[in-house]
Structure 1
Amino acid sequence: MTGRGQRAEGDGAGRRLPATRGRARMTTRKNVVLISFDDAVSYWHYRSVFGVPLQTPNLDRICAEATVFDAAYCQAPICGPSRASFMSGKAPPQTGIYDNTVDVFDRVAPEDIWTRRLRDAGWFCSSGGKVHHGYTPLKRRHHGRIYSDRQKRFDADTSLPPEADLVKFGGHRGGKATADPAHDASYYDHQVADSAIEFLTTYDGDAPFYREVGFYSPHGPHYTPARFKEMYDEAAFVPPADWDAGWPEDLFIRERVPPRDLLEEGRAKWWRKSVRNYFSAMTHGDYHLGRVWEALMASPHADNTLVLIVADHGFHLGDRNRFSKFTLFDQVGRVPFILWDPARRQGQRVSDPVALLDLGPTVLDHLGLSPIEGSPGRSLRPLCDGARAPERAVPTFSNDGIAVRHGRYRLIRYADGSTQFFDLETDFWQQRDLGQGHPDYAATLAALERTAHEHGAA
């Protein structure tokens, strides 16, 4: 099935990919499927924090036999810079990209995207949805220098067909939903999943493949088929009791990313609707992930394909009186990072802090390819094999400053020089600034400064 405007799969020359006829030409070189979510929190920390279980059955079953990096951090708290970083293997200070106004290919050559290394080494590289920034395909002159097949177009959720019977559930960005299942195929994620399923079902080339599956969910406006919103009882959502204590506000970030009175009298209902919208969007994305997963498991490629699942950054879901991204707090910095290896189908969690920037080096290491020159990213393969990570400060950069996760601590230093210092093991929501007098502050600040230099920051 193809959605409105979706182009058929091909090999870049307009030809259809050959059918498998129930088999695949196996190679000792593994295939790779990269799945990305958009604005997805490290969902396991939100399993029941609002009194309503977040339903992600497909992520759960994959994680049961995968390596889950429990403390993975993006290198930028906004889509474009983060994706430019993890797809180039370079940190924001190296690319010079800190906001969505700069296109990655104004600063990074297509040949310097790490997936191009796979193509040069003989992999068939196939796009499919939002992995680089933007819901439309890359410009043809860039696409052709990275991928082996042709461009594919999918319809953004903001362009649902005018004949769709939309129901408004309220909350953040309106909470629109389609009532008729006949319109399910209008959603971006449905079309992306259809395209990936077709590829996995039909690919029978001699070369190993790299396939992208870039989902829209749970990015706003959180539109879904109505049944996904109806899975959640709006009235049952409750803010964590910890939130009653409030949050320390730095004056610099308060001006840059102002808080809102989300939970004041008369606003609590809006917050509940908003979290319901986000949860339903996460579950909608998980549903389509499950469709792709089933297709992979039923294909001849199941025993020879690495699967990596990531998100570009997290999101504030009412904490700090914000329903947004953009900040340097843990809720935006921490992301899902999951690696499923058919040779190691045993679930494990890695608590050592790692970087989203490690994605490219990790894939290249698993495939036996050379590392990215000049990348501060590290291969996580040793951690998959049970090793502990060396002590490391993992950074997140923005126009507002830099934050690092170092051991149990998160230190934020803003552009005006002010800082906030938190113990994440005892203070998940970062409500108690430990201050510069804490005995571990100086060592953490030194780690931040060293890490900033290593990642190209002045």
Structure 2
Amino acid sequence: MPKRKKNVVLISLDDAFSFWRYKDLFGIQLQTPNLDRICARSTAFHAAYCQSPLCGPSRASFMSGKPPPQTGVYGNRTKAFEVMEPSSMWQCRLKDDGYYCSSGGKVHHGFKPLPKDIHDILYSDEPKRFPIDLKLRKSIAQSSNGGNGGGISNIDPEDDSRYYDAHSSKSFVDFLESYDREEPFYREVGFFSPHSPFITPTRFKQMYNITDFHYPEAWKNEFHRSPTADKVVRKNFKTGHRRNWRKSVRNYFSAFSHGDYHLGTVWDALMASPHADNTVVIILTDHGHHLGENGRFGKSTLYEQSALVPLIIYDPDHAQPRTVREPVALLDVGPTVLEYAGLPIRPDFLGRSLRSVVYGETANPDRAVGTFNTHGASIRKGKFRFVRYNDGTKELYNIADDWWQQKNLGSEHPEFAALEQAHAELCSTHGLGFDQDGNGTRL
């Protein structure tokens, strides 16, 4: 009897930084008990990178297996399915092969369900609509604690079940309890957390005392960025206002812990279900997040803090902890899912299946992984991040010694030429060229 194909659960966080880096970085412990226990049985990729540091373009990229220069999606105003066919998404391959595909929250861009005609191409069940936290703040009894996003929390525990993530996790539990079909399933779980404005139940704000947050030692040094970077990486936050910074980071940490709580509900339901021994779980986010360094609180840059993302793969056949520190890409998610499903990987995919890495092989330590936005493109290769803006400005950072990218090493550095060439080669293979004025153009 042939071995049954594995089920796949894809869990997406929203605006989540690579939490391993921040566990005690600010002098206080980030509370992620459920992610921690999942990682104790999974492969955690500590050098995973998004292909766009913005929600819509990143989701269009990892769900299609194509980088932004190929999708043409660089901003949230461009809707993926206005420029791409739904059938171009790798999940359609699963549905065509007999998988029962089920939606459940924000995985493709947008908190609302996809239009019905598009949804029916991608999924086997009906669309699901969950209330959006941005509207929740208008209808709950609340307190405001200040900082970025306002520090809003509900004061009535009865409102805890009204959050987007509470509905998303419950929807997954209901799905598991009712699923009795013969075919394998692909199920999405999309969370709102830790997206701004960081609304949470009060108990998550109370997990963190703002006086315990402190600047990293490295922040005492100056940030040496190019004039172009200072122009396009617009400062939006007064980091020097320490009390406001502490409140702001507390808000983000609280939202992260809130998402972790609902992730625990999903995980426990799966582990208690008949599907526990035959379901692969992939946990990811769309991009990282700056938390005040260099006057930036948010996303959208080509730097490490915005490009680096959490990526975790749980395989019940290899339920043991493993940390992978070689660079990988969110472009690898599609090929990985397809290989687990026993389906061929399209030759035009630029990503690589990570299944063999989960099984113990070593990822390529010399791989270049790219991140793109409207201002330019950057790569992570080895211990370096190389950035090139559309006006031709280039920056080089040693992220092993300078993770905050405070010191631009410049063109005189002995590794500069090799990184510049690697950047140009990756951009070319990903569909990005440069015109005579240095502007990025689709090939």
1:94 paired with 2:70, answer: yes
Q: Deviations over 1:18-72 (max 9, x none)?
A: xxxxxxxx97110000000000000000000001100000000000110111100
- Percentage identity across aligned positions? 50
1:255 paired with 2:255, answer: no
- On the 8 A contact 2:50/2:330 being kept in 1, the answer is yes
For structure 2, list consecutive stretches of 5 or more residues without a partner in the other structure: 434-443
- On the 8 A contact 1:161/1:186 being kept in 2, the answer is no
Within a 5 Å distance, the mapping from 1:267-286 to structure 2 comes to 267-286=241-260
1:396 to 343, 355, 371: 371
Amino acid paired to 1:357: L
State how far apart, in whole Å, the 1-side matches of 2:326 and 2:26 are: 26
State how far apart, in whole Å, the 2-side matches of 1:305 and 1:51 are: 37
- On the 8 A contact 2:239/2:294 being kept in 1, the answer is no
2:136 paired residue number: 160
For structure 1, list consecutive stretches of 5 or more residues without a partner in the other structure: 1-25
1:354 paired with 2:328, answer: yes
1:423 paired residue number: 398
Distance 1:163 1:111, change over 3 A: closer
Taking structure 1 as the reference length, what is the TM-score of the superposition? Answer: 0.92
Q: Deviations over 1:230-288 (max 9, x none)?
A: 11001111110110102112222322232245232xx2111100000000000000000
- On the 8 A contact 1:114/1:372 being kept in 2, the answer is no
Is 372-381 or 109-118 further displaced after alignment?
372-381
1:320 paired with 2:309, answer: no
SS of the residue 2:183 aligns to:
coil
Q: RMSD of the alignment, in Å?
A: 1.2
Shift of 1:175: 1.2
2:349 paired residue number: 375
- On the 8 A contact 1:89/1:372 being kept in 2, the answer is no
State how far apart, in whole Å, the 2-side matches of 1:338 and 1:350 are: 10
Shift of 1:385: 2.1
State how far apart, in whole Å, the 1-side matches of 2:67 and 2:228 are: 24
1:449 paired with 2:424, answer: yes
1:216 paired with 2:192, answer: yes
Shift of 1:163: 4.6
State how far apart, in whole Å, the 1-side matches of 2:34 and 2:183 are: 29
Is 381-390 or 168-177 further displaced after alignment?
381-390
- On the 8 A contact 1:76/1:82 being kept in 2, the answer is yes
State how far apart, in whole Å, the 1-side matches of 2:162 and 2:135 are: 9
State how far apart, in whole Å, the 1-side matches of 2:338 and 2:262 are: 27
SS of the residue 2:360 aligns to:
coil
Is 381-390 or 44-53 further displaced after alignment?
381-390
- On the 8 A contact 1:253/1:400 being kept in 2, the answer is no
SS of the residue 2:204 aligns to:
helix
Within a 5 Å distance, the mapping from 1:1-80 to structure 2 comes to 28-80=4-56
Shift of 1:333: 0.1
1:435 paired with 2:406, answer: no
- On the 8 A contact 2:87/2:121 being kept in 1, the answer is yes
State how far apart, in whole Å, the 2-side matches of 1:44 and 1:64 are: 13
Shift of 1:456: 0.9
Shift of 1:392: 1.3
Shift of 1:352: 0.8
State how far apart, in whole Å, the 1-side matches of 2:347 and 2:286 are: 22
Shift of 1:223: 0.2
1:119 paired residue number: 95
Amino acid paired to 1:233: N
State how far apart, in whole Å, the 1-side matches of 2:399 and 2:139 are: 48
1:233 paired with 2:209, answer: yes
Shift of 1:389: 2.5
State how far apart, in whole Å, the 2-side matches of 1:421 and 1:163 are: 48
Amino acid paired to 2:59: R
- On the 8 A contact 1:127/1:213 being kept in 2, the answer is yes
State how far apart, in whole Å, the 1-side matches of 2:352 and 2:308 are: 17
Q: Deviations over 1:194-215 (max 9, x none)?
A: 1011111221101100000000
State how far apart, in whole Å, the 2-side matches of 1:400 and 1:138 are: 29
2:220 paired residue number: 244
Taking structure 2 as the reference length, what is the TM-score of the superposition? Answer: 0.96
1:141 paired with 2:138, answer: no
- On the 8 A contact 2:41/2:319 being kept in 1, the answer is yes
State how far apart, in whole Å, the 2-side matches of 1:397 and 1:205 are: 41
